[in-house]
Amino acid sequence: MAQRGIREFDGKKMLARYWGEYISKDLSFPGRIVLVDPETKLDDLPNEYSWLKKEKLVVKPDQLFGKRGKHGLIAANVSFEEAKEWIAERMNKKTTIGGVTGTLTHFIIEPYIPHDKEFYIAIKSVREGDTIYFSNHGGVDIESVWDTVAEINVGVMEDIDKINIEDKLPKDTPNENKRVLADFIRGLFRFYRNLGYAYLEINPFVISGKDIVPLDLVARLDDTAVFEFGSKWGDIRFPAPFGRNISKEEAYIKKMDAKSGASLKLTILNPKGRIWTMVAGGGSSVIYADTIVDLGYSDELANYGEYSGNPSTDETYEYAKTVIDLMTRERDIKGRPKFLLIGGGIANFTDVAKTFKGIIMALREYKEKLKKVGVKIYVRRGGPNYREGLKNMKKLGEELGVPIEVYGPETHMTRIVNMALEGS
């Protein structure tokens, strides 16, 4: 739980819904926007949104990634027929954005607004309050014109209406624009704060007659505040970041995680990798992955995996089975051994012997496969009942004929990484 990105569609819809309440009664924002997903029947849309056929349109993907113009993923000033065709060509197609490959599934269609002047605004949560960034030079990579950006700090519990925004606007702001812009900034800030936003960026927005039109919007909400703002947010979804196509096994663990009070996480990095981890605890699991990477074995790191919060024997069994199954599907191409690191720090209250029980069940079940693939297992763990847990693991090694080395808290947490990989 943390700050989570929302779709541009949801951000703009919310903006339109609360425009009159927080932003402006004089200037309007009609919020005409349509979200298209793989299920949408494009031909039916104009029945509900007649403006689609009457106006020129803009189309772009809405999947939490930016720089869409640079990647040729905006079609502007097009007819509905052209927009349809444009979407059809891209829907469910793979594309690569900044090194991340994912599938395009969501697009938004809006009216095309001819304009000449573009503005930039962003509001960001900081420890001492919130910071507003504004520039008269929007529509570009803002970093490239950072010297035109004015920074306005609003302290925690400070009233935005008591801040003289006009004076804090950039020096190049034309006098005739000052009031309109200051009012808009104040309004947008009220919207941001009263709706529990953690980040809101509009780059650019334009002034078009009586309307202020946000063209591109990026927003994050703090999802822990759902109990305070949830009713205002309405039916909001937090989509997965672009490019996170999860495998069957990852989805299985994710489903288990969602149902359980315990935490179970699995990310497969390289299914052909030789180093597999199954680590108790969020922080410890990161440290194990770190150490493997820092010792120069990132190409061999097969997964990131974590279980914590006192999972039941059944849950650790299912979890371990999933990981062991993945790692024993095929031998290493060069016939080298594979390593399974069953690691962890010193548990506070989790019964180590109990959680190991499920892992032991899974290992026993995969006895033949473990031997066939040539798996070496290293265990390190401390906490309640750890001696019993380690003893059981050791016995299991003898029983299965699979090499299992076990260590307790007297051994530094990550030393087994070294032992496995460097043989020291």
Partner 1 sequence: MAIKAKKKPDYVLMDKDTKAIVFGYQQNAVQRMLDFDYICRRKDPSVVAIVNPTRDGLHKCFWGTKEIQVPMYKTLEQATKKHPDADVMVNFASMRSAYPSTKEALESETIRTVAIIAEGVPEHRTKELIKIAKDRNKWIIGPATVGGIVAGGFKIGNTAGMLDNIIASKLYRPGSVAYVSKSGGLSNELNNIIANNTDGVYEGIAIGGDRYPGSTFLDHLLRYEKNPRIKMMVMLGEVGGTDEYDVIEAVKEGKIKKPLVAWCIGTCSKVFPADIQFGHAGARAGAEKETADAKNKALKGVGVIVPDTFDDFDKRIKETFDMLVRSGKHTPLPDVEPPKIPIDYAVALKEGIIRKPTQFVSTISDDRGEELRYCGIPISRIFEEGWGLGGVIGLLWFKKKLPKWATEFIEMVVLVTADHGPAVSGAHNAIVAARAGKDLVSSLASGLLTIGPRFGGAVQGSADHFTTYLYQGSDPAFMVKDMKDKNINIQGIGHRIKSVTNPDVRVEILKKYVKKNFPITETLDYALDVEKLTTAKRNNLILNVDGCIGVSFCDMLRSIGYSREEVREFVDLGILNALFVVGRSIGFIGHIIDQKRQKAGLYRHPWDDILYAMPDKPDEVKRDG
C-alpha 268, offset from chain centre: 16
Residues 6+ apart with CB under 8 A from 139: 118, 120, 203, 204, 215
SS3 for 110-169, per residue? EECCCCCCCEEEEEEEECCEEEEEEECCCCCCHHHHHHHCEEEEEECCCCHHHCCHHHHC
Least separation in angstroms between CB 214 and partner 1: 22
* 160 near partner 1, rule: CB under 8 A: no
- Give the integer Cα–Cα distance in Å for 130 and 145: 21
* Ramachandran category for residue 157: left, alpha or beta (phi over 0 → left; psi -120 to 50 → alpha): left
Residue 415 as a binder of partner 1 (CB under 8 A): the answer is: yes
295 part of the interface to partner 1, by CB under 8 A: yes
Q: Which CB, 95 or 291, lies closer to partner 1?
A: 291
79 binds partner 1, rule: CB under 8 A: no
- Nearest approach, Cβ of 38 to partner 1 (angstroms)? 21
Give the range of 22-30, 170-178, 276-284, 361-369 binding partner 1 by CB under 8 A: 276-284
Q: Residue 289 burial (CB < 10 Å; 0-12/13-18/19+)?
A: buried
Q: At its nearest, how many Å lie between partner 1 and the CB of residue 12?
A: 22
* Contact pattern from residue 228 through residue 247 relative to partner 1, giving x for each residue in contact according to CB under 8 A and a dash for the rest: x------------xxxx---
153 belongs to the binding site for partner 1 (CB under 8 A): no
Q: Which span (45-53, 162-170, 182-190, 275-283) binds partner 1, by CB under 8 A?
A: 275-283
Q: Which is nearer to partner 1, 11 or 57 (CB)?
A: 11
**Does position 417 bind partner 1 by CB under 8 A?**
yes
Q: What sections of 304-345 are H helices per DSSP?
A: 313-327
Q: Which of 61, 187, 383, 389 binds partner 1 (CB under 8 A)?
A: 383
251 binds partner 1 (CB under 8 A): no
Q: How far is the CB of 193 from partner 1 (least distance, A)?
A: 8
CA gap 159, 136 in Å, rounded: 24
Residue with tokens 């334009």: 206
CA angle 120–126–130, rounded 5-degree value: 55
Q: How many residues does the chain have?
A: 424
How does 201-240 read in b/e, with b if 16+ C-beta sit within 10 Å? bbbbbbbeeeebbbbbbbbbbbbeeeeebeeebeebeebe
User: Residue 138 or 243: which CB sits closer to partner 1?
Assistant: 243
Of 157 and 333, the one with the shorter C-beta distance to partner 1 is 157
Quickly list DSSP for 254-273: HHHHHH-SSEEEEEES-TT-
Nearer to partner 1, 105 or 308 (CB): 308
Pairing status of strand 75-78 against strand 100-103: unpaired
Sign of the C-alpha dihedral, residues 75, 37, 62, 240?
Answer: negative
Chain centroid to CA 361: 34
Judged by CB under 8 A, the stretch of 54-62, 78-86, 123-131, 315-323 that binds partner 1 is 123-131
Give the residue with the Cβ less far from partner 1, 236 or 400: 236
Number of residues counted as binding partner 1 (CB under 8 A) = 60
C-beta of 161 vs 410, nearer to partner 1: 410
Nearest to partner 1 of 185, 416 (CB atom) = 416
By CB under 8 A, name the one of 25, 144, 157, 175 that touches partner 1.
157
For β-strands 100-103 and 107-111, DSSP reports them as: unpaired
**By CB under 8 A, is residue 258 in contact with partner 1?**
no
Cβ count within 10 A of residue 282: 14
**Is 3 among the residues that bind partner 1 (CB under 8 A)?**
yes
User: For residues 1 and 333, which CB has a smaller minimum distance to partner 1 in the complex?
Assistant: 1
A 10 A CB-CB count for 315 gives 22
- Chain residues in the site for partner 1 (CB under 8 A): 1-3, 100, 125, 127-129, 155-157, 193, 196, 198, 222, 224-225, 227-228, 241-244, 263, 267, 269, 281-284, 286-287, 289-295, 298, 301, 304, 306, 308, 345-349, 382-384, 409-410, 412-415, 417-418
